[in-house]
Amino acid sequence: MKKIDLKKPVSSWVKLGIWTLIFVLFIIWVGNYWWLFLYPIIFDIFITKIIPWTFWKRYKDTNKTLYTIFSWVDAIVFALIAVYFINLYLFQNYQIPTSSLEQTLKVGDFLFVSKCSYGPRIPNTPLSFPLVQNTFPWGMKSYIEKPQWEYKRLKGFDTIESGDIVVFNFPAGDTVPLKCNNPDYYTLCYLHSGYNWLQDSIMPYKVYNAIMQKGRVKVHSLESEYGEIIYRPVDKRENYVKRCVGLPGETIELRNSILYVDGKEFKNAPGVQYNYFVQTNGNMLNIEKLHKIGISTGEVSMIDPQTTAVYLSEIGMTPQNEGNWGYIYSMALTEEALKELKKTAIIKQIVKEKVIEGYNSPIYPLPYTNKWDRDNYGPLWIPSAGSSIELTEDNIIRYERCIVNYEGNTLEYKNGKAILNGEESTSYTFKYDYYWMMGDNRHNSADSRMWGFVPETHIVGRPVFVWLSLDRDVDWFKGKIRWSRFFRNAER
């Protein structure tokens, strides 16, 4: 047996001491003492060296090819391990893919997201490849589903406050048709149920369950259109970024697109915008001038008045002389951009987009689609950990996804009685806090109005600043890089 020599230079013991301190502090922070079984590896690397971790260094002069290969392998392995832990516990990069937070965060912004702000989560799927959310570019899964660890969040520096911009895992992304990301799986099932979801009254829970089952069968039969349908663990669901407008225990409501929280009007961020129809006097708008006054040209489209004349009339627009509508555009505008656009000489009228009967789209919870819409919604109470609700039919419709999908229970409603985990029950107490997330681009945001509450288990972190910004509407040689947004606070 090889004799272990503990007589090492002082520098080796100092290095061991530093890494031991880091390792112990990490274990205390994580609270998982199983990590201590890895300590002999650290001790061996610096002191005993039973395993020849750096055997390849002896070939520096005799076999340069072997030395070069293992030098690269050593560097790559160390980098992957470092990135894995940094990405899990400290911060990650996130790119804004959609316009839901225009103008606050723009499409093409790259964000530095702090996971320490709200406390990093212990990963549900620890065996995963770093820097890849759920699939490699060639379509293969980037993680191994087992083992699965239960939800646990380490202590953070802060808590989520009203108005914070938050990165989170998509709550309705647990079941995913691989060829269809939008709408989500549950909305797809609803739309394929064959049911008239613009009926006059809120459907009973029993009817809702039946039509959803019919829709599931239909969606699963359309594999050529929607692809394989898979399940994803919480931390491998797509990342979304929205603004938190409702905290646990609060009640949210929208009246004519104005948001109220606990009965008080919510103070909007400066970047909040809505869709408008803009009619000119017969001349076309100059897209470059729109860009200069802060209008995202990616949000501008020309409307065919011949096919939308009925809708345009119903929202209050009128044609010009002899029934000529002229040029009509649809665009998202902030209050500031709206004021600037009204100063343009060729503008005839500007009307805010409205949801009218027959033009609504499915919202959360789906049985309320005929009663609520994106501009007139609620009131709806947001669950908080430790709070209880009565298990009435209406409450089950509103909170079933929280109780079943997010908190892991079974729930049925038969003969006017709730069956919770196989037993008759009259109430339910929530395990987690929930949040209500909405985009600043209110008419172009798939948010909590469409898929409901965001549980604390899905919170990823807080965007801190923009470290890169590329304008999707401009070429590389015409100012594609938005230098003015570099290191900009992500919440302004």
pLDDT tens digits, one per residue of 25-54: 878 776 667 778 888 888 888 788 888 777
At 441, the amino acid letter reads N
For residues 245 and 437, give the distance between their C-alpha atoms in angstroms, rounded to a whole number.
6
Q: Is 475 left (phi over 0), alpha (psi -120 to 50) or beta?
A: beta
| Joined tokens for residue 66 | 């072997």
| Alpha-carbon 288 to chain mean position | 31
For residues 429 and 37, give the distance between their C-alpha atoms in angstroms, rounded to a whole number.
38
Lowest mean pLDDT among 277-281, 351-355, 485-489: 485-489
Query: 93-120 burial, b for 16+ CB within 10 Å, e for fewer?
Result: ebebebbbbbbbbbbbbbbbbbbbbbbb
| Joined tokens for residue 469 | 């910004």
Residue 56 burial by CB count (10 A; 0-12/13-18/19+): exposed, middle or buried?
Answer: middle
Predicted confidence at residue 419, as pLDDT, reads 93
Backbone angles phi, psi at 303, to 5 degrees: -100, 140
| Joined tokens for residue 293 | 């006054």
Identify the residue with better confidence: 451 or 194.
451
Residue 255 pLDDT > 90: yes
pTM: 0.84
Q: In degrees, to the nearest 5, what angle opens at C-alpha 335 toward C-alphas 329 and 336?
A: 95
Residue 490 pLDDT > 80: no
Predicted confidence at residue 468, as pLDDT, reads 80
Residue 98 pLDDT > 80: no
Predicted confidence at residue 320, as pLDDT, reads 79
Identify the residue with better confidence: 411 or 107.
411
pLDDT in tens, 333-387: 988 889 988 888 888 899 999 887 666 788 999 988 888 999 999 999 999 999 9
Residue 103 pLDDT > 70: no
| Alpha-carbon 433 to chain mean position | 17
Residue 435 pLDDT > 90: yes
Q: Across 90-99, 159-168, 466-475, which has the greatest mean pLDDT?
A: 159-168
Q: Taking the CA atoms of the chain, what radius of gyration do you get in angstroms?
A: 27
Do 332 and 353 contact (CB within 8 A), yes or no?
A: no
Query: How many Å from the N-terminal Cα to the C-terminal Cα in the chain?
Result: 65
Predicted confidence at residue 491, as pLDDT, reads 66
> For 84-103, what is the mean pLDDT?
75
Q: Across 48-57, 270-279, 319-328, which has the greatest mean pLDDT?
A: 270-279
Predicted confidence at residue 200, as pLDDT, reads 64
For residues 309 and 118, give the distance between their C-alpha atoms in angstroms, rounded to a whole number.
49
| Joined tokens for residue 68 | 């070069």
Residue 400 pLDDT > 70: yes
Rounded mean pLDDT of the chain?
86
For residues 361 and 198, give the distance between their C-alpha atoms in angstroms, rounded to a whole number.
9
Residue 410 pLDDT > 60: yes
For residues 286 and 221, give the distance between their C-alpha atoms in angstroms, rounded to a whole number.
47
Residue 492 pLDDT > 60: no
Residue 122 pLDDT > 70: yes
Predicted confidence at residue 6, as pLDDT, reads 65
Instruction: Identify which of 273, 253, 271 has the alpha carbon closest to the alpha carbon of residue 263.
Output: 253
Identify the residue with better confidence: 491 or 399.
399
At 166, the pLDDT band (50, 70, 90 cuts) reads very high
> For 472-480, what is the mean pLDDT?
72
